[in-house]
Amino acid sequence: MPSGAFQYKFKSAWWLPEGHSQTLWRKFAGSPAVNHVRERVELSDGDFIDIDWLTAEERAKNSAQPLVFILHGLCGSSSSSYVLSLQTLLIENGFNSVVMNFRGCSGELNRKAQAYHSGVSHDLEEVLRNVIRQHKPEAVSLVGYSLGANVLLKWLGEHYDYSKVDKAVAVSTPFTLGLCSREMLSGLSRIYGRYFTRRLLSDYLHKRKEFELQDKGPELEELLGLGDVSRVSNIWEFDDQITAPLHGFESANDYYGRCSSIKFLPEISASTLLIQSYDDPLVPPVALPEAGMVSESTVMELSPKGGHVGFVSAQNSNWLEHRILKFLRD
Q: Give the total number of structural domains in the chain.
A: 2
Q: Which of 121, 146, 260, 277 is catalytic?
A: 146
Of 302, 282, 307, the closest CA to residue 19 belongs to 307
Q: Which domain holds residue 218?
A: 177-259
The tally of CA atoms less than 13 A away on the side-chain side of residue 239 is 23
Average pLDDT over residues 12-39: 89
Residues 155 and 293 in one domain: yes
| Residue 308 known to be catalytic | yes
Q: Quick one: pLDDT at residue 32?
A: 85
| pLDDT in the model for residue 3 | 41
Catalytic choice (47, 50, 240, 280):
280
Same domain, 169 and 211: no
What pLDDT, in 10s, does the model give residues 50-62? Answer: 999 998 765 555 5
Task: Give me the CATH number covering residue 136.
Answer: 3.40.50.1820
Same domain, 232 and 275: no
Same domain, 16 and 66: yes
Q: What are the Cα distances from residue 254, in Å, to 207, 244, 245, 249, 277?
A: 25, 8, 10, 6, 27
Q: How confident is the model at residue 122 (pLDDT cuts 50, 70, 90)?
A: very high
Is residue 141 predicted with pLDDT exceeding 50? yes
228 is catalytic: no
Catalytic residue among 72, 189, 308, 313: 308
**Is residue 113 located within the same domain as residue 147?**
yes
User: Domain check: are 199 and 276 in the same one?
Assistant: no
Identify which has the larger pLDDT, 317 or 169: 169
Using one digit for the tens of pLDDT, what is the confidence trace for 185-197? Answer: 999 999 999 999 9
Among positive and negative, which fits the CA dihedral 159, 160, 161, 164? negative
Quick one: 243 and 308 in the same domain? no
Whether residue 146 lies in the annotated active site? yes
Confidence (pLDDT) at 1: 33
- For residues 305 and 19, the answer to whether their CB atoms sit within 8 Å is yes
